[in-house]
Chains A and B, each alone.
Chain A
Amino acid sequence: MRAVNHTMRNRAKLTGWLFIAAAVLMICLFYFYPMIQALLLSFKTGAGANLQFDGLSNYKRLFSDKTFFTAVKNTFLFLIVQVPVMIVLAMIISVLLNDSKLRFKGFFRTAIFLPCVTSLVAYSVVFKYLFGNDGLVNLALMNMHILSEPIQWISHPVWAKVTIIIAITWRWTGYNMIFFLSSLQNIDNSIYEAAKIDGASGPRQFFSITVPLLKPIILFTSITSTIGTLQLFDEIMNITKGGPGNATLSISQYIYNLSFKYTPDFGYAATVSYSIVVMIIILSFLQIKLAGDDK
């Protein structure tokens, strides 16, 4: 009897492993194995397929590479300006939409989520023309006499960055809003009733009840947005191509250029790509730490 039970339990264990086997295999094969390959590559130099081990020379090159630092600076600027703006905006919108007395809720929610159905390439192309020198945005602003002459949205180093930030915010705010909304719907209404009886004002309720309860979602959305921004590619490639100069070059686009646009240098490209890995690990760790500490 005992032996039978034992084999049954072993079989159940084995079945469990069989259910997850395919997924584990695929992730090892297409994430972890290439990851190790990239690490090995980062110690090799050479053009195209002719690669030789060359110690730390790629890493030395990295620290004196001005283009790399420009790309890092750009990417962090996008990160520091765009992610907080977007998260706060998504949170405000979701709190407003969560009001049970609000009308046309379905319409507002669908409209604000709509940007998420476009491909990054499609919306980038649309934004490129909306913000062109003689694009609709300039035309409208000039007709309304807000501007006297067109802004060089795409071809001025500062405005090009602004255009990219506006574009990403347009595309992703609704996406983040959905996470806030679904988590707001799980908050028990009686907490707010109690707060109202205690005489807490709307803003007071927002900061002392809503924000603390939303903390896990704030952490989740800020980590995924950070990872997304550090990987920024499609918009840059299709709106500004990294220009003017290198004013909007992102790290991902630099890696793409090193591998597939200039003379292919896979070894150095892998080195640059590891810098993103390190940044993602450090930033995610910091965000988790920050969220855990200010309790």
Chain B
Amino acid sequence: MKTFRRSFIYIFLSVVALISIFPFIWMIISATNLSVDVTQGRMLPGTHLFDNIRKLTEQINLVQALWNTLKIALTTTVLALVIASLAGYGFEIYRSKAKDIVFNLLLLSMMIPFAALMVPLYQMFSKLSATAPLIGVNTMAAVILPTFTTAFLIFFFRQSSKMFPKELLEAGRMDGLSELGLFFRIYMPTMKTTYSAAAIITFMSSWNNYLWPLIVLQTPEKRTIPLLISNLGSSYTPDFGVIMAAVVISTLPTALVFFLMQKQFVAGMVGSVK
């Protein structure tokens, strides 16, 4: 009876794991095959990966798009981590009734759907185009500005700050560190896992962001990877090998970030969900 239940559990988990992984296997295999092989359901790796990538770079400016996406994702991540951790720390360490009220108001912003913001934001950045062309529509800044501060990340840092040993701050104050000094010299180095987890979450969501860049980036040379993938996917005569090569390339950076930082990620998540 017991071994029967055991094996059932293993079979169930294996099936779920297989379903989770299968689309990855399929897209990697398809990226190495010709379009016609893909439609015939070929499940063996082929030899056309480099042909597919070459054809892809002929159709779109892949390097430019990767560079655009990377610049946006990195800038967003750095800004987001600094602003959100300062705030999370501020709310928890300098706790007061008034700040708790402000914090709860900020949390309300998590309930606001992006759909309700996109039209006013678009109008806002269109207006800026005339007076401040560097942050107006069709610029990197326009993608980054509305997305880098999220109540979720502030909440995340505040939760983790609850477990931060406050005696360290007293010791630092005794040693004559300023309040900002305490934050940069003591808090930041101690909270590495929280920062890693926050960095993964932010980098991934910025790298993968679609709707806002779709609205605000208008010329092809500004576009990010998700916009290009979406465009390739909507053609009437899809070249499956080429499209899958693009999908694999666009997924590699986030998969890599995740695998390299998985340990810190799980540790950071566990710390802040408690």
Chain A interfacial positions (CB closer than 8 Å to B): 12-13, 15-20, 22-24, 26-27, 30-35, 37-38, 41, 93, 96-97, 99, 102, 107-108, 110-112, 114-130, 134, 136, 139-140, 170, 174, 178-179, 182-183, 185-186, 217, 227, 230-231, 233-234, 237-238, 241, 251-252, 255-256, 259-260, 266, 269-270, 273-274, 276-277, 280-281, 284
Contact = CB atoms under 8 A, between A and B. Distances in A.
A231 B251 contact: no
Nearest to B228: A121
Of the listed residues A26, A130, A139, A255, the one surrounded by the most CB atoms of chain B closer than 10 A to its CB is A26
Contact of A30 (B145, B211, B240, B254): B145
A24 B102 contact: yes
Given A13-B96, A96-B12, A24 B87 contact: yes
B252 to A, nearest CB: 10
A38 to B, nearest CB: 5
B255 interface: yes
Contacts of B84: 23
Contact of A35 (B20, B117, B270): B117
A124 B116 CA distance: 23
Given A37-B123, A252-B211, 12 more contacts: A12-B94, A16-B90, A22-B87, A37-B120, A112-B20, A117-B251, A118-B24, A130-B26, A252-B115, A273-B116, A274-B116, A276-B113
> Interface majority SS on B: helix, strand, loop or mixed?
helix
Contacts of A178: 266, 269
A30 B146 contact: yes
The 9 closest A-B pairs by CB, nearest first: A16-B94, A19-B90, A119-B208, A23-B87, A34-B120, A37-B120, A26-B149, A111-B17, A273-B116
Given A238-B230, A260-B215, A23 B41 contact: no
A132 to B, nearest CB: 9
Interface in B1-43: 9, 12-13, 16-17, 19-21, 23-24, 26-27, 38-39, 41
Interface of B: 9, 12-13, 16-17, 19-21, 23-24, 26-27, 38-39, 41, 83-84, 86-87, 89-91, 93-96, 99, 102, 106, 109-124, 145-146, 148-149, 151, 154, 179, 183, 204, 207-208, 210-211, 215, 225-226, 229-230, 232-234, 238, 240, 243-244, 247, 250-251, 254-255, 258, 262, 266, 269-270, 273-274
Contact of B113 (A13, A97, A128, A280): A280
Contacts of B210: 119-121, 233-234, 237
Contacts of A129: 38, 238, 240, 243
A183 B270 CA distance: 8
B17 A108 contact: yes
Nearest to B124: A34
Contacts of A241: 234
Contacts of A186: 274
Nearest to B253: A117
B13 A93 contact: yes
A119 B226 contact: yes
A27 B41 CA distance: 48
Contact of B87 (A19, A119, A174, A274): A19
A115 B20 contact: yes
Contacts, number: 239
A69 B35 CA distance: 40
B145 A273 contact: no
Contacts of A19: 86-87, 89-91, 93-94, 183
A201 to B, nearest CB: 12
Contacts of A130: 23, 26
A256 B230 CA distance: 16
* Of listed B94, B145, B151, B232, residue having the most chain A CB within 10 A: B94
Contacts of A26: 83, 148-149
A126 B243 CA distance: 9
B109 A179 contact: no
Contacts of B266: 178, 182
A231 B113 contact: yes
9 contacts: A16-B95, A23-B149, A24-B102, A35-B116, A37-B123, A93-B13, A130-B23, A255-B115, A256-B118
A182 to B, nearest CB: 4
A93 B12 CA distance: 9
Contacts of B269: 178-179, 182
B255 A30 contact: no
Contact of A136 (B26, B124, B154, B229): B26
A136 B38 CA distance: 9
A10 to B, nearest CB: 12
A93 B15 CA distance: 11
A174 B23 CA distance: 15
Contact of B111 (A30, A33, A37, A227): A227
Chain B CB within 10 A, most for which of A18, A34, A37: A34
Contact of A20 (B13, B86, B226, B255): B86
Contacts of A31: 109, 112, 117
